[in-house]
Structure 1
Amino acid sequence: MPQSYVKRILNARIYDLAVETPLEDMPLISDRTKNNVIIKREDLQPVFSFKVRGAYNCLLQLTDEQRKGGVIAASAGNHAQGLALSAKHLGVNATIVMPRTTPMIKVEAVKRRGAKVVLHGDTYDEASEHAHSLVEEKGMTYIPPYDHPDVIAGQGTVAMELLRQHSGPIDAVFIPVGGGGLCAGMAAYIKYVRPEVKVYAVEPEDAACLKLAMDRKRRAVLPQVGIFADGVAVAQIGKETYRVLKDTIDGVITCSADEMCAAIKDIFEDTRSIAEPAGALSLAGLKKYVAENGVEGQTLVTINSGANTNFDRLRYISEQTEIGEQREAIFAVTIPEEPGSYKKFCSLLGKRSITEFNYRYADNRDAHIFVGMQILPGGNDRQEIVEKLQKHGYDVVDMTDNDIAKLHIRHMVGGHAPQVENEIVYRFEFPERPGALLQFLTKLAGRWNISMFHYRNHGSAYGRVLVGMQVPSKERKQLEALLSELNYGYSDETDNPAYQYFLS
């Protein structure tokens, strides 16, 4: 089966628009991992993403009649920009349907490249449905973002360049996966030309649609999809891409948002470029593979698939990087509320650097402190700290992996409110659109007092919100019914230890 794609890839005449991107050494991460790590710089394409390859190759295969009728796609990201530029280059009218939640930086980027933008719906699925209805209505041709042989072949040219640029031994290539177009094209080519090279697909832990399909041996739909790495936030692997991938990859690796943030920093330090989360995903997978398998002395290739990230997202990325690198740990520690207790606590830690310390007086007996400190990457440093503190009589809770602690509590510590009764706490994902907050407040309609509210957005389609409400136990079923009607993602966090320690 890979053979059929090799011919398509070799015949892809995309280089009057797409560019052959460089393959660069990464000396710093190579030294740290004790391997020869090389990066393919797809962030240097005209649209800062590999997506232009597949979109342009697909347009080149259309008939004159199809080009005359115009093309359309649904996309909130890099495919939209790749198709817009490709259509402009060929003089084809392009329409891109984007969710209303799409950040304006991406909307404007598509418009600048000459495409007509239609904002419709709050999700990609709603935008896609509308785009397909316009196909029927206007007679345009739909250009899918990944699940099409010509798109897959266009993306596969990345592998063709890679193997030509590095003729020496390659032990493994790590490729990011959303819908699977890039990975399918590259895997098909690599396994035909250099079958000894291992190919690993890398996905976010909260959007692992290929792993789900491989585990079940059939395509399936994820019930929920995380959107931090929006370039690979796909609920179901493509039909054609799965057909290719199930026979050509050597495994699937999943990574957390923290691990992607750490990989963004690694890429910056070696190349001085800022990858988007999806762009750094495959390096995160490479690092995880090395750590879990004790690999040394190998030649490993990663793909920087794109650099289209919002500037305001960088603050969150920076905050999470140290945790993603396993260089920072976060603890909730109970210390006596008495003079000198902070000094005693710090003395116990020796010369270890404290990165964060949050505290506010609550009562005259105990103080709950929120403390971050540098740790040694790998090993059992975190556990050794916990054991040392416990040995000296401190009550300690490790919150390094607690999302509520990392995303909200560290910005809210000191909010104890003993006078607040019947408080329950929910975490929400609010769609980033005008009126979303008003809709939430209107639905509650003053029924219950909001006793705490913390909002945090990372430049993505959803803002994260932590809300406390005073709701008597007998009225909580009514609240749950109202929240279900809102159709916002939410979870009850009242029993979360981060809340119990610092805010209850």
Structure 2
Amino acid sequence: MFDFKNAKKRVDEAIDPTYMLYSEVFSNLSKNNVYIKPENLQKTGSFKLRGAYNKISKLDEASKSVGIVTASAGNHAQGVAYSANHQGIKAIVCMPETTPMIKVEGTLKYGAEVDLHGQTFDETNTYAQNLAKEKGYTFIPPYDDEDVIEGQGTIALEILEKFKEADYILVPIGGGGLISGIAKAAKEIKPEIKIVGVEPANAASMQAAIKNDGPVTLASADTIADGTAVARVGDITYKICKEYVDEYISVTEEEIMVALTTLMEKHKLVAEPSGALSLAASKKLDCEGKNVVCVISGGNIDMSFISQLIHKGLYEDGRIARFTVELVNAPGKLRDLLDIIAYTKANIISVVHDSLASASRYKNIQVELTLETNGKDHIRKIEDLLTEKGYSVH
């Protein structure tokens, strides 16, 4: 039995409400009225705090006095650590030995004890559950738990309290805890609202479960959206999604990267790749003129990874292009090529010109140009002009 109103009272002790933002750019792209629910601005940087805090708050005093344990290498770890510290409970967070130190330190700063064990999450998770049995700790699941789901559902209450006119809520899916809570809570308040689950095309485990009439384990879940790289959804979350989720959308790695860079550039908001899934899917909705809320699930991302994703996103969006052009190895030929590039109004980022690396019997050379461009149409115009001028372009 879910009681989302009382869950919200508990969760409100610890969280920051995340107020919705209207997005003109994503509205134009989708032809709907798109609003952002920025859980990346939540304490600990993600929605996971809500479910963890609700679960831990509902433990009896005997369980609290012994302590809790969980397994996670990401947002759930920090949510559990913060919640336990806020309530004065001992917490042990088990993480794979391969976990980046920035995530370990992020968990330690909230007062939890970190136990590094195992090379994979499955090994770590088994270890944590065995530790719970041996020591009498309460194990805090990341998503397949009614109290955790109940806590995540408080997001729907916040959305519909402030924005009763919402027609759609788009939600990223990993194990299914977030969308289960939002879907069930939202439908209780507004039965006609549409709930849309969004998964990476490379890790569409909930859609596989729906097609199979039950959870199945994917052969792989290889995606840049690591927060949703879950090969098998939960049993509880599957049942709720089957009943309450109206539609599913898959997004490609390229679409995720473009959504991420657009969010950063236009809204000055940093999200992790899994957090941007809903925005990537917003332009794939088969409707126009509707009020659409996109949940940004989290923003915990390494700075070095941001740099890589932005760079790839700019390529996918046609903002950066790389050409290899074959030139006659003679004085003035490079200048002629660069004059053509200048005429197209593209900005040159780099030129690699090596006359010693011959292309054909020392007569021709390869020049690699990296250009800042204004979209894919601009790139095509540059390529067409170079071809028209007799250059061999790749």
Q: Does 1:183 align with 2:179?
A: yes
Whole-angstrom distance in 2 between the partners of 1:143 and 1:123: 18
1:351 to 332, 344, 350: 344
Return closer, same or farther for 1:28/1:126 CA change in 2, 3 Å cut-off. Answer: same
1:77 to 74, 95, 110: 74
1:27 to 3, 24, 44: 24
Partner of 1:317: 309
Residue 94 of structure 1 and its aligned partner are, at CA, apart by 0.8
The Cα offsets for residues 148-176 of structure 1, whole Å up to 9 and x where unpaired, read as: 111111101101110111022x3322111
Partner of 1:424: none
Tell me if structure 2 keeps the 8 A contact 1:352–1:373. no
Q: Does 1:132 align with 2:129?
A: yes
Return closer, same or farther for 1:112/1:360 CA change in 2, 3 Å cut-off. Answer: same
2:365 to 364, 367, 376: 367
Letter in 1 for 2:363: R
Partner of 2:145: 148
Give runs of aligned pairs for residues 78-97 of structure 1, distance below 5 A. 78-97=75-94
1:246 to 235, 242, 246: 242
Residue 256 of structure 1 and its aligned partner are, at CA, apart by 3.6
Return closer, same or farther for 1:376/1:161 CA change in 2, 3 Å cut-off. Answer: same
Whole-angstrom distance in 2 between the partners of 1:385 and 1:211: 41
Whole-angstrom distance in 2 between the partners of 1:253 and 1:327: 26
Secondary structure in 1 matching 2:105: helix
Return closer, same or farther for 1:373/1:132 CA change in 2, 3 Å cut-off. Answer: same
Letter in 2 for 1:351: T
Secondary structure in 1 matching 2:106: helix
Whole-angstrom distance in 2 between the partners of 1:230 and 1:81: 16
Return closer, same or farther for 1:68/1:164 CA change in 2, 3 Å cut-off. Answer: same
Partner of 1:196: 192
Partner of 1:438: none
Whole-angstrom distance in 1 between the partners of 2:337 and 2:384: 14
The Cα offsets for residues 199-257 of structure 1, whole Å up to 9 and x where unpaired, read as: 22222233322233334443222223335322222121222112221333233323344
Q: Does 1:229 align with 2:234?
A: no
Whole-angstrom distance in 2 between the partners of 1:242 and 1:392: 58
Whole-angstrom distance in 2 between the partners of 1:223 and 1:141: 31
What RMSD, in angstroms, separates the aligned Cα atoms of the two structures? 2.7
Whole-angstrom distance in 2 between the partners of 1:344 and 1:253: 48
Partner of 1:66: 63
Letter in 2 for 1:154: G
Secondary structure in 2 matching 1:11: helix
Tell me if structure 1 keeps the 8 A contact 2:196–2:246. yes
Q: Does 1:120 align with 2:117?
A: yes
Give runs of aligned pairs for residues 206-221 of structure 1, distance below 5 A. 206-221=202-217
Whole-angstrom distance in 1 between the partners of 2:197 and 2:326: 43
Whole-angstrom distance in 1 between the partners of 2:383 and 2:273: 31
Whole-angstrom distance in 1 between the partners of 2:329 and 2:169: 54
Residue 143 of structure 1 and its aligned partner are, at CA, apart by 0.6
Tell me if structure 1 keeps the 8 A contact 2:326–2:365. yes
Tell me if structure 2 keeps the 8 A contact 1:263–1:284. yes
| Unaligned 5+ runs, structure 2 | none
Letter in 1 for 2:262: D
Return closer, same or farther for 1:356/1:214 CA change in 2, 3 Å cut-off. Answer: farther
Return closer, same or farther for 1:136/1:300 CA change in 2, 3 Å cut-off. Answer: same
TM-score where L is the length of structure 1: 0.70
Residue 258 of structure 1 and its aligned partner are, at CA, apart by 3.8
Q: Does 1:8 align with 2:3?
A: yes
Residue 261 of structure 1 and its aligned partner are, at CA, apart by 3.2
Whole-angstrom distance in 1 between the partners of 2:90 and 2:47: 21
Whole-angstrom distance in 2 between the partners of 1:342 and 1:198: 57
Tell me if structure 1 keeps the 8 A contact 2:200–2:223. no
1:105 to 90, 102, 105: 102
The Cα offsets for residues 392-430 of structure 1, whole Å up to 9 and x where unpaired, read as: 555444xxxxxxxxxxxxxxxxxxxxxxxxxxxxxxxxx
Whole-angstrom distance in 2 between the partners of 1:309 and 1:24: 21
Residue 196 of structure 1 and its aligned partner are, at CA, apart by 3.1
2:290 to 281, 288, 298: 298
Partner of 1:160: 157
Whole-angstrom distance in 1 between the partners of 2:45 and 2:112: 17
Secondary structure in 2 matching 1:200: strand
| Unaligned 5+ runs, structure 1 | 398-504
Q: Does 1:263 align with 2:255?
A: no
Tell me if structure 1 keeps the 8 A contact 2:26–2:282. no
Whole-angstrom distance in 2 between the partners of 1:72 and 1:17: 20
Secondary structure in 1 matching 2:243: coil
Letter in 1 for 2:352: N
Residue 355 of structure 1 and its aligned partner are, at CA, apart by 4.5
Return closer, same or farther for 1:33/1:102 CA change in 2, 3 Å cut-off. Answer: same
TM-score where L is the length of structure 2: 0.87
